[in-house]
Amino acid sequence: MAFKPANSIQDLQYFGEFGGVNPSISDSSTYTFLSAKTMFDTFEGNADGCYLYSRHSSPSNLYLGEALAAMEGTETANVMASGMGAITSVLLQLCEGGSHIVSSRTIYGGTYAFLKNFISRFHISTSFVDITNLDMVEAAITPHTKVIYCESVSNPLLEVADIGGLSEIAKKHGLKLVVDNTFSPLSISPKPLGANIIIHSLTKFINGSSDTVGGVVCGTKDFINDLRNVNAGAAMLLGATMDSLRAASILKNLRTLHIRIQQHSKNALFLARKFEADGLKTVYPGLVSHPSHNLFKTMMNGSYGFGGMLTIDVGTLEKANALMELMQHKNLGYLAVSLGFYKTLFSAPGTSTSSEIPLEEQQAMGLSNGLIRFSIGLDADIERTYSIMRDCMLELGIIKSTMA
Ligand SMILES: *Cc1c(COP(=O)(O)O)cnc(C)c1O
């Protein structure tokens, strides 16, 4: 039977202290113990269900973690202060000096910078590969490789990772497959496809209101316990802990994720088809012209569609900037980084979210100057949105009128 992630979230029951329909928010950094012995046992990791200090865990964070684990079909999860907090903790937990990582070359700019400039200082090296080429992925593996790292749908080029194929390679070589699923929550479920650890930036679609940063690591109980370990856990010791008040508010937003994703996907597919028909170079996994359209279809949870992200290439950075400014002026969305908001957000990745990547490398991976990344919003009337966007593009000469 197909995996039904939204059902898994909905089936969880939580009640507040006084029978409230939402769980009570835990507003404490520390917890009392009835006996000194229980405190000792808790620090030793032998007292399940006891809280010791909120950097380790808190009731509100566990509620949100449980819901996200249900969504991804993993045993458990640990919420973190940001997506980067999740990514850096996972990689530092899995690697040691001398380790090697095979990573997709088209990934979030911050992750790229961490791998290239930061974790390398600890003699952990990374090979960046074209993740859509499984032979190249396997060829990059060395005896020191610990991790294959990718995004299910990559930022910003929207390359689609063959998670099943990558998981076979990971299994064969005894590696962990770590998948950042930020661009495709609900649409793609990496765990049933064979991923070991799934990461999200909750900042984006999952929270959906652009009012906080947050992250999560979904995985086995053993791995999450390792992350939280008081003596050697990266989550515990690096301290990227989410605040309980935020965890409670993200959990409430998670309730509507299935409806929002359907609307983001519906609007994005509509615009992608129109843009492509207008002769714009358009990348969207829902278009038949996308090189991984069929692969995406084999991986997706039907009703959630192909997600809310699309890109167009308008040729030059000047045109891209002019179009984005005009669209913002017409209130079609905001010139802003990030994604998953109710309003459409647009940015030119080469000069913003991917600016960590050197220019030559941007060009090698197909990240061109005129690229605009859109996070399509929840617009109630997407036909109106399109017609105003089209007027903007005609005005700037980005598309030509087909009417004589
Ligand atoms: C935004 C983003 C991140 C980083 O998350 P933060 O919450 O900003 O730390 C990681 N991966 C992807 C794909 C992202 O879009």
Mutate to test the pocket of ligand 1, among 182, 207, 241, 339 (most ligand atoms within 8 A of CB): 182
**Is position 402 within any domain?**
no
Would the CB of 349 count as within 6 Å of ligand 1?
no
Nearest CA to ligand 1 atom 6: 83
Sheet with 197-201, edge to edge strand ranges: 76-80, 215-219, 197-201, 176-180, 145-151, 100-104, 125-129
- Return d(Cα 220, Cα 224) in angstroms, integer: 6
26 lines ligand 1 (CB under 6 A): no
Are residues 122 and 187 both part of a single domain? Answer: yes
84 lines ligand 1 (CB under 6 A): yes
Q: Do 244 and 262 belong together in one domain?
A: no
Last residue of a domain, one of 254, 272, 292: 254
> What does the block give as tokens for 37?
């012995």
73, with CB counted inside 10 A (0-12, 13-18, 19+), is middle
Q: Copy the structure tokens of residue 26.
A: 């835990």
390 and 324 within one domain? yes
pLDDT at 142 over 70: yes
Ligand 1: centre distance to CA 47 (Å): 34
Q: Answer yes or no: is the C-beta of 213 below 6 A from any ligand 1 atom.
A: yes
CA 213 / ligand 1 centre spacing (Å): 9
- C-beta neighbour count of 381 within 10 angstroms: 9
Say if residue 154's pLDDT is above 80.
yes
151 within ligand 1 shell (Cβ under 6 A): yes
**Do 249 and 262 fall within a single domain?**
no
3-state secondary structure 152-200: CECCCCCCECCHHHHHHHHHHHCCEEEEECCCCCCCECHHHHCCCEEEE
Atom of ligand 1 nearest to the CA of 85: 9
Burial 333-367, CB ≥16 within 10 A → b, else e? bbbbeebbbeebbbbbbbeebbebbeeeebeebeb
User: What backbone torsions phi and psi does residue 81 show, to the nearest 5 degrees?
Assistant: -70, -25
Q: Which residues pair with 199 in a beta bridge?
A: 180, 217
Residue 404 has a pLDDT of 44
Q: Is 44 left (phi over 0), alpha (psi -120 to 50) or beta?
A: alpha
Domain span including residue 67: 5-254
> Is residue 159 within 6 Å of ligand 1 at its C-beta?
no
Report the C-alpha gap between 208 and 196 in whole angstroms. 25
Backbone angles phi, psi at 236, to 5 degrees: -65, -45
Are 325 and 366 in the same domain? yes
Is 403 a residue whose pLDDT tops 70?
Answer: no
Distance 215 CA to ligand 1 centre (A): 8
Bridge partner list, 100: 125, 145
Q: Which residue's CA is minimally distant from atom 12 of ligand 1?
A: 108
Model confidence at 46, in pLDDT bands (50, 70, 90)? low
For residue 383, pLDDT beyond 80:
yes
Based on the domain organization, do 213 and 345 belong to the same domain? no
Least confident of 45-49, 253-257, 311-315, 342-346: 45-49
Which of 63-67, 230-234, 290-294, 366-370 is the least confident region?
366-370
Count of domains for the chain: 2
156 prior amide bond cis, ω within 30: yes
Question: CA-to-CA distance for 48 and 114, rounded, in angstroms?
Answer: 34
Q: Is 184 in the pocket of ligand 1 (CB under 6 A)?
A: no
CATH of the domain at 384: 3.90.1150.10
Is any atom of ligand 1 closer than 6 Å to the C-beta of 215? Answer: yes
Q: How far is the CA of 394 from the centre of ligand 1 (A)?
A: 33
| Closest atom, ligand 1, to C-alpha of 215 | 7
Last residue in a domain, options 236, 254, 272: 254
Do 313 and 349 fall within a single domain?
Answer: yes
**Distance from Cα 109 to the centre of ligand 1, integer Å:** 9
State the pLDDT at residue 365.
77
Pairing of strands 197-201, 215-219: antiparallel
The pTM for the full model equals: 0.95
- CA 201 to ligand 1 centroid distance, Å: 5
Q: Is the CB of 210 under 6 A from ligand 1?
A: no
User: Is residue 60 within 8 Å of 23, Cβ to Cβ?
Assistant: yes
pLDDT confidence of residue 360: 83
Q: Which of 203, 209, 337, 339 to mutate to test the pocket of ligand 1 (most atoms within 8 A of CB)?
A: 203
The fraction of the chain above a pLDDT of 70, given in percent, is 98
- Do 182 and 293 lie in a common domain? no
Determine which of 26-40, 169-183, 304-318 has the lowest per-residue pLDDT on average.
26-40
Confirm whether 284 is domain-assigned: yes
Residue with the nearest Cα to atom 11 of ligand 1? 108
| Residue at which a domain ends, from 237, 254, 271 | 254
Q: Round to whole Å and give the CA distance between 314 and 291.
A: 20
Tell me the average pLDDT across 142-154: 98
Q: What's the DSSP call for residue 73? A: T
Q: Separation of 301 CA from ligand 1 center, angstroms?
A: 22
Measured in Å, residue 83 CA sits from the centre of ligand 1 at 5
